[in-house]
């Protein structure tokens, strides 16, 4: 009985040891994800860096003490400072960084809080540049400020195993009162430009209108000249025809008759116009004779003047 019990105990012990050994062996395998590195230590002392994939460590004596991401990490920072012309500004900055695959040891062991360290360096660079610039210069130098921050961070963080991928100065936000004043200035400048443009457009319209009126008057004058020429030629023809029929009539008498006819034709045209409101005509019996004499006197005066 004792021998059988002892054998059974030994079997159970061997099974237990086998299971424990199998568990230790299985537990010695571990995986590392893509874009990640695992830090292996032996008895608390750094041993090696395990890369992505299936890895193995000695049971009980080796341990995975940490994992470091190799992906790009973005840190959003907000810096407040004062410009050379005493304007307080807020500068949002985004810093994109990652751990160098060959420097995982430095990134894990040499720096406990990388985000705080990066913020300190960014603040140092901003305070070294912005206070020496005016507000307008800061607005015009966003890219140069970002380059200065990246250059400084690259040099400082390289020793800690970090690579600065990019630095973005996303905006320059001045004090609310200053921003309102800047908007008012911009609005006034835009209104000034718009007023100048409207004035120039009105000037062009006035010039074009004047040119059109000048051209219209020139054409109108040419038409009047042609009309008068035609009238003169018609009068000449009428006088010649009248003299042929009535041979004893003088040229002045014929001209007087023609002018009287033209005078009444003119009055008729004026009376037919829808824009004529009132037409004053002489109503005395000798009105026609008086008009005729006035026309003749005008013609004689014109002849003497020649």
Q: CATH code at 104?
A: 3.30.479.30
Q: Is residue 27 part of a domain?
A: yes
Q: Is residue 188 part of a domain?
A: no
State the pairing for strand pair 88-99/173-174.
Answer: antiparallel
Domain total for the chain? 3
Range of the domain at 150: 73-174
pTM, two decimal places: 0.53
Q: Is residue 59 part of a domain?
A: yes
Domain end residue (candidates: 52, 69, 86): 69
Q: Is residue 236 part of a domain?
A: no
pLDDT of residue 102: 92
pLDDT of residue 251: 63
Buried b (16+ CB within 10 A) or exposed e, 27-54: eeeeebeeebbbbbbeeeeebebbeeee
pLDDT of residue 107: 92
pLDDT of residue 172: 86
Q: Is residue 203 part of a domain?
A: no
Same structural domain for residues 7 and 55? yes
pLDDT of residue 22: 74
Contact 153, 130 (CB under 8 A): no
**pLDDT tens, the chain, 306 aa long:** 456 667 777 777 777 777 777 777 777 889 999 999 999 999 989 999 999 999 989 888 889 999 999 999 999 988 888 888 888 888 999 999 999 999 999 999 998 888 888 888 888 888 888 888 888 888 888 888 899 889 988 888 988 999 999 999 988 888 777 666 666 666 666 677 777 777 787 887 877 887 777 777 777 767 766 766 676 667 667 666 666 666 665 666 666 666 667 666 676 766 666 666 665 566 555 666 666 666 667 666 666 665
Same structural domain for residues 54 and 131? no
pLDDT of residue 4: 67
CA dist 165 to 5, 112, 159, Å? 70, 20, 15
Q: Is residue 231 part of a domain?
A: no
């Amino acid at each position: 009985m004792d021998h059988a019990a002892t054998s059974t105990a030994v079997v159970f012990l061997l099974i237990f040891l086998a299971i424990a050994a199998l568990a230790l062996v299985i537990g010695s395998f571990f995986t590392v994800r893509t874009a990640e590195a695992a830090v292996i230590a032996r008895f608390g002392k750094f041993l090696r860096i395990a890369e992505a994939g299936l890895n193995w460590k000695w049971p009980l004596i080796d341990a995975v003490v940490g994992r470091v991401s190799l992906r790009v990490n973005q840190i959003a920072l907000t810096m407040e400072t004062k410009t050379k012309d005493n304007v307080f500004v807020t500068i949002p900055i985004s810093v994109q960084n990652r751990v160098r695959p060959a420097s995982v040891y430095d990134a894990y062991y040499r720096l406990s809080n990388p985000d705080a360290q990066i913020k300190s360096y960014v603040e140092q660079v901003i305070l070294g540049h912005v206070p020496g610039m005016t507000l307008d210069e800061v607005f015009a130098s966003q890219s140069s400020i970002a380059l200065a921050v990246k250059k400084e961070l690259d040099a400082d963080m390289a020793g800690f195993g970090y690579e600065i991928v990019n630095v973005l100065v996303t905006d320059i936000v001045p004090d609310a009162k200053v921003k309102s004043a800047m908007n008012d200035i911009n609005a006034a400048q835009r209104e000034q430009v718009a007023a100048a443009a409207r004035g120039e457009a009105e000037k062009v319209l006035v010039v074009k209108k004047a040119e059109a009126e000048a051209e219209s008057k020139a054409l109108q004058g040419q038409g009047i000249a042609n009309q008068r020429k035609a009238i003169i030629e018609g009068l000449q023809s009428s006088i010649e025809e009248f003299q042929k029929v009535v041979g004893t009539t003088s040229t002045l008498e014929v001209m007087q008759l023609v002018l009287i006819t033209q005078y009444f034709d003119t009055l008729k045209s004026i009376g037919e116009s829808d824009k004529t409101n009132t037409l004053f005509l002489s109503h005395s019996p000798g009105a026609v004779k008086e008009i005729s004499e006035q026309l003749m006197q005008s013609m004689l005066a014109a002849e003497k003047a020649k």
